[in-house]
Structure 1
Amino acid sequence: MTFRLLGLGLLALALPTWADHPVALRLAAGTTPPAIDGRLDEPAWQQAPVYEQFAQFLPTDKLPARWRTTVQVLVTDDALVFGIRAWDPEPERIRAPLARRDQVKADQDFVAVFIDPVGRRRTAQYVRVSAAGAIDDGLFAAEEASEDAAPDFDVEAATVRLADGYSVELRWPLAALRFPYQACTQAAGLRQLPPEGVGPTCADGLPWRVMVTRNIPREDRTLNVSAPALTKDALHFIAELQPLDGLADLVEQVRERSFITFRPELTLRSTQGSDETGTRRSREASLGAELKWRPRADWVIDATLNPDFSQVELDEPQLAGNTHFALSVPEKRHFFLESADVVGPTQPDESGENRSLAAFYTRAITDPDWGLRATWRGTGAEATALHLRDAGGGPVLRASAFATRTGEQPRDSQASFARGRRQFGENGQLGLAGLVSLRDFGDGLTTRVVGSDGVWRAGDNDQWRGHLLLSATTLGLDADGQVLRVPTDRGHRAWLGWRHLDADWFANVNVEEISPRFANDNGFVNQSGIRRASAFGYLRLGEQELAGLALHESEAQLTLQETRTLSDPLLGVAAGQVVERQLRPGFWFAAARNTGVWGHVGLDQHRARSGGTLHPTRTLLLGVESNPGEMLSYVTAEIEWGRRLDVEADRVGNGLQAQTEAKLRFALPGGGWLELEQRLGLGYVNAPDGQRAFTDRSAQSLVVWHLSARDSLRLIHQQTHFTRRADAAANLSAADSRERQLALMFQHRVGLARLLSVGLNRASERPGRLRSRELFAKLALGF
């Protein structure tokens, strides 16, 4: 240990002077950029300023970091290169499994870089790099205080394990960053003198901001951040991003530079489908392409032609047998993920609602033939617009207060969407946006939506958000779910939300109204004809001790919600009926091994149909999640049991709903890593005679064999199974439906530029004896 400490001291003396904030070093013309191999041994690294003022954020904030971490930044003609050195006194305990993209989680040692090239700390692009070199990237949205891991950036990273830790090199191309058209010339002038040591604030731009984090999973997970001022009292995680100095000349030079990426793809496919009428086979070869053009810093143009999504992972199965409402699924197709924050946030808030999907839900686009999209981003405003042709075949939704009716989309529709947002105030405290959405199915079947949304940050602890959307549609569904043209139906959706966070308590309060005829075929609307008020809050109790167990954090929680109907004469729904009422006192605490435990008592009421009984339901929910160790890296389980509502039978019975997930990772003797994930879901409610009225099951098994950092073999098998016993008293027939899906795929991936996939997809559905099989091979190359 003495020699190790001596070595650290000598190395510290050899490094350049420490910086008070991150400072980038511009490489001189003709200098060879460092090779991205994880080794910080090139001459440029010996000259770059070093930043190491890290502070602890988890499990307890406001403490000095116990593990030393240093950050250096180099600037080349076309990229930022981060060199990060992570020292560890117990390097044998570093957790560094090979993992899929976007699967670098809290159970692994990693470093992360958050960049906000706009400088207002509203959104940040982030990249996590594990100690094994795996990448996890996406967008962090301050308004939602949440991450979206769907977007992928064309970054390159490498790591090296060392005797006293590990080092990381991360190359972030400027073409993968979205920043305004800033002018930092003297002619532009300065609004005010910049703070000491900070690069100039341009007349039409702000300094780029950055934060580096480091995760150390031990008995207690530790997260260190390079922004010492960041605490858990902040409204969001990127509230204290620091200026990245040394970029003024770079921004001036690259703001006019054009970047273009062309990605052609070839897919060979053999399919076979069968049902009760016979078997059908087909073979096809299809060419597709994607084009990304950044004509200058603030514009990005995306085009896609005949995209193929055969390599995208299957959606996770969901329990859907005891609800009349449609369920949303996350987007995984990369064309729709460019600058997703400009379209609008996509993560649910603390109440579980995802109101942003009412405006634009990309999964409403089923099978695009082609698409074109333009995105513009300035220092105080941004906008995006897209237009595409959809081959159709997906669901069309028409909602009411008690159910979502579903029909089949007409084929060959046109979808258009545009949204622009403007920020006001020195730090963008007020943001106002307008949007327009159009879906044209031909034959006079159209749906139009116009609206506005806004956000107001009322100080450091409070945020107000809201929107107003107006719709008009001529597309309706008959009693059998068939699409038909109807006289224009008009509707609205209004929502206002308040969010507060300080050192003592948190609150999220929302009120909204959705008129009976509101519809958006470019969005997700699964309930309408309601007025809802909801509130979720918690009181921070701080560090506690429970039965000898040290709790890092603890909270007392309360959820309140009431949903009532609006008058809907067309469907015969009277106004003022309670659809749902929630009263849920609960708790949450965090302990060792990144363990969280939560629970609540549900003193709720539910009504399953208009004019029906308002049923009291009494349930108890308990949940836990943890990172137990390096092999069993993650486990979570949640179970709710008690008196639950059987929606179809319109009665209450004893039952439960449970979900569990476990992840295992371990090294194989012959090399590589094996990744196993198992998800299980179970729900049931008993009939008055004590026998099972229905049972709803779901399961997903995922196995990934990482042959190397670039090559993997992935197997996914999942199924859902719903059964219901015949019940004459409730006028219900017996039901038995089952869906199975299997996907096997070998993939060779080099960043986002080169991809080779070969795979097999199989699916079956009962009743109906529907079966399908697909063999495919896909090659994509980026230029």
Structure 2
Amino acid sequence: MKLPVSFLFAYLLLSHSSLLAQKKNESYQLHISRATSPVVLDGSVDEPAWQAAEVASDFWMVLPMDTSRAKVRTDVRMTYDEHNVYLSAVCFLGDVPGPYIVESLRRDWSFSKNDNFIFFMDTFDDQTNGFTFGTNAAGAQWDGLLYEGGKANLSWDNKWTSVVKNYSDRYVLEMAIPFKTIRYKKGISRWGINFSRLDLKTTEKSSWTPIQRQFPTASLALTGVLIWDQPPPQPGPNISLIPYALSGLTRDYQNNIDTKGRFNAGLDAKVAVTSSLNLDLTVNPDFSQVDVDQQVTNLDRYELFFPEKRQFFLENGDQFTNFGYATIRPFFSRRIGLGGVPIRFGARLSGKLNKDWRIGIMDMQTGGVSETGLPAQNFAVMALQRRVFARSNIGIMFVNKESMGYESVSNKTLYSHYNRNLGVEYNLASANNLWTGKAMYVQSFSPTQPLNPGQEASSATGSGASAVYAANLQYFSRKWLISGQIESVGENYTAEAGYVPRRGYERVLGTLGYTFLPTGSGILSHGPTLNSTYFFDPAGRQSDNESLLNYTVTFRSKSVLQAWVATDYVRLLQPFDPTNTGRETLATGVENNWTAWGTEFDSKPQSLFTYGFSSRYGGYYANGTRLNLTADLGYRFQPYVSLAASASYNDIRLPQPWGHTTFWLVGPRFDLTVTNTLYLTTFVQYNEQQKNMNVNARVQWRYKPASDFFLVYTDNYLPNSAQIGQDVPGFFSVKNRALVLKWTYWWNL
């Protein structure tokens, strides 16, 4: 099967009348004026500055219905001085008795599990990128970067302050956001703005501007307008130095390596070239504060994806990492500096040139690893984006990964000299938020070399087999979800600095869904969704397909029930062990068919005790069967303690030589938040498939905004002491152990 290239060109020219329409909520305007008195963050709005400020109130209900005004009252005011933009929100309680509902005092909490207030700033009024800040009812902070018109990356962190004070009938929050923390264009006096409130006791989500229930309140296309009495003040010299120092102890029991001490230090710097363009620099960075990845039982034939959490890569990171699709990413920053590869230094220039042009340039240098013969490598990325129509854009990207001193590399079959990707994409986003889509083309360039040991050499330079093209179009209204997508990834396409787990295929997929919206019942919405996906090999023969019918019921209490049935067909294109444990493999060309069904349920988040479960039962490879049961439990002693536990059980029954295989994956978690600046998290993960148990305990003290002390303890255990020659009491034996103390300080010059 060959996908029509002409479709891409037609798609690039796709034009809908709403593309050029006026901003939908243009009439919702809030005027902001310079403060008439000093603003003190104390949970009170009695200062003259607040009394003189214009009030945004009379919110619209988004859920459970989106056709009336909110029943729970919220009053918002904004003002500013030469250093900060200030916001206050008075969040009145509803008519349902009881205390507020929060998980804990931890930052970047789950939106759906906390009474909260959040606001969204589109500082370029381009309806694409912005910032979000907020707190829950207990004062825990939330901050993130907005991208792709309303998605939030909460891994971003920066300097700002807030206070929340609780009263018998309301809670009051005040925030101070430094102008140095955000990015905006000089002279612009209109920002997009919106405010969102969630009150779990009444199950009401509300928004200052009217938003249909299928859209998140973060949708930048649906913001109102913040009108400044004069353009926001320039922040002046805006240079931040963020040094760190780290010391620690490690011991490797598995390889009989005694305890080793370590000390490391490095520096990050942020330089505002303009108020909208930022230069990030890093020397000898360390990322030991990154949360441990959530382990999974991996029964997939292809590499799994884990998101980037490292601060250096996050600001404006969407321009790099969101180029392409979820499984076609020419650049993925987690390829840089993980797995024991040291980052020596790096620089990144990113931000807005003006309202229409956006740029990102990054260069990172890693060191070599003598144990594996990996040479030092350089990663260079350039991305340029131009806004078109109301919210759409056209972008280009160039990625270059190059090995330094490659001629001295002893084993050239393991490491390439260079790999380059050049691509262009068009992102469609209509002004009314109903239509979204993308069309892209990417070409890779690599020297002639074996693709894998034993294969004949082939050149990926300039041939159609080293290219990718893909396109999708989606329509999403209150009741209908309709989308289609095509992909073609060449056999020789390579993205060594990206994430493309599968090559040499063409793919067609479609989605059709409908939502019923009953009134006057305990059900908020319900409806079916049908997904169908087909893969074809380079010869045009079908290799995979999956068709899945799902029915979802969302209750007014915010609990959710799903049930599904699916049919699968897989013709293996390479050998595969269906248990993914390094055992015998099914041969290339073996065909597999099966049917499976499953359920999923998540309880209402208002309860102190929450739970969820899912099930899957049906066929599997080689005419076998697979049963999967998962359960999640949580209990909170709000706002200080949150307990959670998850468990997953897989029972796989196959013919010999595999036979009967079971896997347990268990992960209890304990969160203690003494204050909203002092946290203790202990996370345990037992993965039977990987034969590993991991214990990660971390104390974090945020002694100043964006400045931290970390104390991190990590243990890895093996379930069988005989395998490592250690006679340690208990069922598990230590593989390795580490203790790390890290200090960071954010210093604004």
Q: Report the TM-score range of the alignment, normalised by the length of the smaller protein.
A: 0.7 to 0.9
1:462 corresponding residue in structure 2: 435
More moved, 677-686 vs 288-297 = 677-686
**Structure 1 residues 684 and 373 mapped into 2: Cα distance closer, same or farther (>3 Å)?**
same
Please list, as runs of the form range in 1=range in 2, the aligned pairs for 1:61-460 lying within 5 A after superposition. 61-88=66-93, 89-90=95-96, 92-142=98-148, 146-180=151-185, 182-183=186-187, 207-218=190-201, 221-228=203-210, 230=212, 232=214, 237-246=219-228, 248-250=230-232, 253-254=233-234, 257-276=236-255, 278-320=256-298, 322-345=299-322, 354-355=326-327, 357-366=329-338, 367-377=342-352, 378-391=354-367, 410-425=374-389, 427-428=390-391, 430-442=392-404, 443=406, 445-457=417-429, 460=432
**Structure 1 residues 140 and 644 mapped into 2: Cα distance closer, same or farther (>3 Å)?**
farther
AA of the residue aligned to 2:492: R
Please list, as runs of the form range in 1=range in 2, the aligned pairs for 1:26-65 lying within 5 A after superposition. 26-28=34-36, 31-32=37-38, 34-65=39-70
- Give the distance between the partners of 1:637 and 1:215, measured in 2 at CA: 25
- C-alpha offsets along residues 448-502 of structure 1, whole Å, 9 cap, x if unaligned? 11111111335632223121111122496786799x9986566111110101122
AA of the residue aligned to 2:700: Q
- Give the distance between the partners of 1:139 and 1:685, measured in 2 at CA: 42
- C-alpha offsets along residues 213-267 of structure 1, whole Å, 9 cap, x if unaligned? 000112x5211001125553799833210110125332xx317x33111111110
More moved, 651-660 vs 771-780 = 651-660
- Give the distance between the partners of 1:361 and 1:20, measured in 2 at CA: 39
1:494 corresponding residue in structure 2: 469
* Residue 643 of structure 1: how far off its partner (Å): 1.0
- C-alpha offsets along residues 382-404 of structure 1, whole Å, 9 cap, x if unaligned? 0111111224679xxxxxxxxxx
AA of the residue aligned to 2:674: L
- Give the distance between the partners of 2:373 and 2:222, measured in 1 at CA: 46
CA contact (8 A) 1:329 1:363 kept: no
- Give the distance between the partners of 1:475 and 1:590, measured in 2 at CA: 54
- Give the distance between the partners of 1:341 and 1:590, measured in 2 at CA: 31
CA contact (8 A) 2:693 2:719 kept: no
- Give the distance between the partners of 1:173 and 1:167, measured in 2 at CA: 20
* Residue 760 of structure 1: how far off its partner (Å): 1.3
**Structure 1 residues 215 and 698 mapped into 2: Cα distance closer, same or farther (>3 Å)?**
same
1:608 corresponding residue in structure 2: 572
1:204 corresponding residue in structure 2: none
**Structure 1 residues 20 and 755 mapped into 2: Cα distance closer, same or farther (>3 Å)?**
same
CA contact (8 A) 1:493 1:514 kept: yes
TM-score (norm 1): 0.81
**Structure 1 residues 675 and 554 mapped into 2: Cα distance closer, same or farther (>3 Å)?**
same
- C-alpha offsets along residues 87-108 of structure 1, whole Å, 9 cap, x if unaligned? 1145633114433221243121
Please list, as runs of the form range in 1=range in 2, the aligned pairs for 1:593-672 lying within 5 A after superposition. 593-609=557-573, 611-632=588-609, 634-645=610-621, 651-667=622-638
* Residue 503 of structure 1: how far off its partner (Å): 3.3
AA of the residue aligned to 1:642: G
> Match for 1:24 among 32, 42, 45?
32
AA of the residue aligned to 2:140: A
**Structure 1 residues 751 and 136 mapped into 2: Cα distance closer, same or farther (>3 Å)?**
farther
- C-alpha offsets along residues 137-180 of structure 1, whole Å, 9 cap, x if unaligned? 2233345x533222223221110001111001111121222223
- Give the distance between the partners of 1:26 and 1:597, measured in 2 at CA: 49
Provide structure 1 residue ranges, at least 5 long, that are not aligned to the other structure: 1-18, 185-198, 200-206, 395-406, 567-574, 646-650, 723-736
Q: Percent identity?
A: 16
AA of the residue aligned to 2:660: A
- C-alpha offsets along residues 268-306 of structure 1, whole Å, 9 cap, x if unaligned? 111111335x32432121111111111321210111122
AA of the residue aligned to 2:257: T
Is 1:535 the counterpart of 2:510 in the alignment?
Answer: yes
Secondary structure (helix, strand or coil) at the match of 2:112 reads coil
Q: Relative contact order (C-alpha < 8 Å, sep 6+): which is higher?
A: 2
CA contact (8 A) 1:553 1:590 kept: yes
* Residue 752 of structure 1: how far off its partner (Å): 4.3
* Residue 714 of structure 1: how far off its partner (Å): 1.6
**Structure 1 residues 485 and 287 mapped into 2: Cα distance closer, same or farther (>3 Å)?**
farther
CA contact (8 A) 1:96 1:130 kept: yes
**Structure 1 residues 90 and 543 mapped into 2: Cα distance closer, same or farther (>3 Å)?**
closer
Aligned residues: 678
- Give the distance between the partners of 2:692 and 2:215, measured in 1 at CA: 46
> Match for 2:660 among 690, 693, 699?
693
More moved, 465-474 vs 55-64 = 465-474
**Structure 1 residues 516 and 544 mapped into 2: Cα distance closer, same or farther (>3 Å)?**
farther
Provide structure 2 residue ranges, at least 5 long, that are not aligned to the other structure: 1-26, 408-416, 575-587, 725-733
- Give the distance between the partners of 2:204 and 2:217, measured in 1 at CA: 20
1:711 corresponding residue in structure 2: 678
- Give the distance between the partners of 1:235 and 1:242, measured in 2 at CA: 12
**Structure 1 residues 593 and 504 mapped into 2: Cα distance closer, same or farther (>3 Å)?**
closer
AA of the residue aligned to 2:51: Q
- Give the distance between the partners of 1:454 and 1:592, measured in 2 at CA: 39
CA contact (8 A) 1:740 1:765 kept: yes
* Residue 356 of structure 1: how far off its partner (Å): 5.7
CA contact (8 A) 2:158 2:706 kept: no
Secondary structure (helix, strand or coil) at the match of 1:23 reads strand
CA contact (8 A) 2:667 2:683 kept: yes
- Give the distance between the partners of 1:376 and 1:705, measured in 2 at CA: 37
- Give the distance between the partners of 1:355 and 1:468, measured in 2 at CA: 14
- Give the distance between the partners of 1:69 and 1:716, measured in 2 at CA: 37
AA of the residue aligned to 1:132: A
**Structure 1 residues 636 and 138 mapped into 2: Cα distance closer, same or farther (>3 Å)?**
farther
The Cα RMSD (Å) is 2.9
**Structure 1 residues 481 and 161 mapped into 2: Cα distance closer, same or farther (>3 Å)?**
farther
**Structure 1 residues 555 and 67 mapped into 2: Cα distance closer, same or farther (>3 Å)?**
same
2:550 corresponding residue in structure 1: 586
- Give the distance between the partners of 1:107 and 1:47, measured in 2 at CA: 34
* Residue 694 of structure 1: how far off its partner (Å): 2.3
